[in-house]
Each structure stands twice: as C-alpha cells, then as structure tokens.
Amino acid sequence: MKVLPALFALLLAAPCRPQPREGEAAYFESEEKFLSGFDINDPENGFSLLGGLEGSSMILKVKGPSGRTIGVFKPTSGNTLYEAEIAAYRLCRRLRLPVCAPTVEKTLDSASLDRFSILLEEVEFEGKDDPKFAAHFRMKERFRQAMMDRVSERTTMPGAFKTWIEPLILYQGLGDLASVKKHELYEYLFHDGPPDGGRPIELRQCTTLYKPEGCYRGELRVRELLDQFIGMLIVDALIADNDRFAGGNVHLFSIDARIAEDEDGWHRLPAPSLLMLDNGAGFLGSRTQALDVIRKDLKITRFPRRIFDGLQALKAQAEKDLPGLLAALGIPEDARHAGKHYAPARMFTSNLEALLGYIRGVEKKHGGAAFY
C-alpha cells in the first residue's frame, strides 16, 4: 500500500532525522590525523604491491617500521586518478558520510620511488596463469609497464594514501543495480515508499575472500542505510565515478574496527557502514553516467534532507569562491593521464548543478515527501 506524500512527510518530520553516530566523527578525525603525520618515506617502512586480483592499477601496500599495515598508496595509474580518491573522501566528510576510507595526499620521494621501481620490475602476480583472468592480467601488465615508464621519468610522485581497513567485507547485496532492485532497501528510495519507523535492516554476507572466512552480519536502521547508500551515489555523481556497480566496489566495514563473535558462529560488525572502497575512476569517464544511476537507472525520489542541505552549501560556496572550494576538495582544474586530457573541476561543478536541479524537480513534483 502506498503512503500519501503529505502523511509520509509528517511521519518523517525533522526531529526524527538520523544524526551521525557517536564516535564516527572521532574515528575519522583520529585516522586522518594519524595518516597526515605518518612518514611514508621512512626507509624502515615496508612496501609491497597489492596482489594480482586486488584491482588493476599499481597500488603500494605500506607497513610501518613495526610491521603493522598502515594503508595503501594509490598514485595515478591504470584506471585510477589519485585526485578522485582525495575528492571522494573530502566530499564524504563535508556531507558527514561514513562511507569513505580516511584518505590524505602524500608524495613518494626519490628513494621511495626507487623501491617502487624495483617492486614493479620484480613482481610476479599470483593467479596470472589462470585462463579465467587472462584479460585482467593483460590489462594489469599494460598498467605495470606504463607505471615503470612514469617512475623512471620522475623524482617524486604524489598519490592518495588511504588507511588500511580491517575487517573489510565485499557486500554483494547492494553491489550491482540488479541486486539493489531486489534488496529490501529498494522500496525506501521513493517518495511514496513506506515510512521506516526506525526499524533495523540486517546486512548479511558470507565470504571466503577476506579473513577470517565465514559469515558476517551488521545492523543499521533504515534511515542510516538510506543515508549511506544515497550518499554514496551522490558522491559518485559529483566526481563522475562510473565504476561503483562494476562488481567489487561496495563493501562493509566497522567504524569500531573490530569483529564481535555471536553464539551462532556469525561474525558481527559493530557500528557497521557501507564503504566506497575504490573511487579512483572518478573524472576519467562519462560525466553523466553516475548521475544517471540516480536519475534514470534507480529513479530515486526520496533524499536525505541534511545531504541536500549540504549540496546547497557546496553550491553557495562555489558561487562565492570556486577556486577555494576546489582547493579544499582537492579537485584540479585539469588532469592528464595516459595521453588524455580531463577536466575534473568542470565535471564537478556541472554535476553539482545537475544533481541539485534533479532533486529540486523531485521536490517540486512531490513536495515534502521528497525528503526525510
């Protein structure tokens, strides 16, 4: 049964809007501060390349002098523009979304680049002889060769340094558009969908890809999950990231960074959140494809009011001081990669305007039911 828009708007009145969970802001502030202060060029650090099936771009896994894994360093490589990773994280923080891993900009010095070069020359990717992944490894080999050429021409290299997240679980339930349309969250994406009444949704996923193997669960209120899922799509639209539903780019993690063991043998994620793990494809493809996931593929007609307000604040700042906003978000005017020219700033401003126009059109048509 459909809910009348006026009644729905009343049921989702402002006092019931979800607020960021306790500890969430502290988590991101602490992690970002730690990453910013970490010396990525300390010769005592450990470097290794991510494995054969862990993405196609050349990514460094970084361990500190104690041997603890600190994070991954993602330079511009293959299908990755490092500025897109920076912009995604900063947009997540501006919109108060927990769905991006803490990320800062770092630069490898000459000595670190020498170490990177040796790894690129000597690496043997596990699984490269499996015929099922032949196309993947052909692409990865092209990207390896291209990165070796880039490293040989430079004395420093900037990139996005992202915190290492454990536990981390690939979540298939919202990992592609077909699955989204079968998920119990789907009916809440529309202005005439049911009110949630604060009810919880349990997210479940079994895995043999991540350690410890087994089955995981995490529980979120409908509105928290709506905030995270719609917010993820909005950030994708702003940076024109068209790679979210290609498979393997929607994950679950625990903001508490721990696993609890339930009596039935399941692993439970306390303070769970969706996670946009890989955002490097932003600004490298079609300007409107990610935007059209919202407008055309899912045709979403219900949005978080606080995120809409955040988008309006971004628009107001862009009108007042666009260079300052772009600098704060880490979005360059121009970018060159693999012989091609890109215009990240123009993509961002165009998509911000188009996204606000779409949401305002939904509001004009459906009134208060367009928001919760």
pLDDT digits (tens, 9 = 90+) for 337-360: 989 999 999 999 999 999 999 999
User: What is the DSSP pairing of strand 103-108 with strand 69-74?
Assistant: unpaired
Query: Is the torsion defined by CA of 296, 194, 205, 101 positive or negative?
Result: positive
CB 40 within 8 A of CB 61: no
Whole-angstrom distance, CA of residue 88 vs CA of residue 100: 7
Element (H, E) at 267: strand 267-268
- Statement: residue 192 has pLDDT above 50: yes
Q: In the predicted model, is pLDDT for residue 16 greater than 80? A: no
What count of other Cβ atoms lies within 10 Å of the Cβ of residue 146?
16
Per-residue pLDDT of 43-96, as tens digits, reads: 999 999 987 666 678 999 999 999 999 999 999 998 899 999 999 999 999 999
Maximum Cα interatomic distance, the chain, rounded to a whole number of Å: 65
State what percent of residues in the chain have pLDDT above 90. Answer: 78
Tell me what pLDDT residue 13 has: 34
- pLDDT value of position 124: 75
More confident residue, 10 or 298: 298
Q: Which helix (H) or strand (E) holds 273?
A: strand 272-275
Helix (H) or strand (E) holding 60: strand 60-63
63 or 198, higher pLDDT: 63
- Residue 18, pLDDT > 90, answer no
pLDDT of 14: 33
CA distances from 154 to 58, 80, 148, 256, 309 (A): 16, 18, 10, 39, 43
Q: What is the pLDDT of residue 22?
A: 55
pLDDT classification of 120: cutoffs 50, 70, 90: very high
pLDDT computed for residue 3 by the predictor: 38
Token readout for 179 is 């699955």
Indicate if the pLDDT at residue 17 is higher than 50: no
Mean local confidence (pLDDT), 142-171: 94
pTM: 0.90
Residue linked to tokens 């949401």: 359
Which residue shows structure tokens 């502030």? 29
Q: What is the structure's pLDDT at 126?
A: 65
- pLDDT-derived band of residue 9, with 50, 70 and 90 as boundaries? very low
Mean pLDDT of 189-204: 92
Statement: residue 2 has pLDDT above 80: no
What is the average pLDDT across 157-186? 96
Angle among Cα 286, 312, 220 to the nearest 5 degrees reads 80
Provide the mean pLDDT of the chain.
91
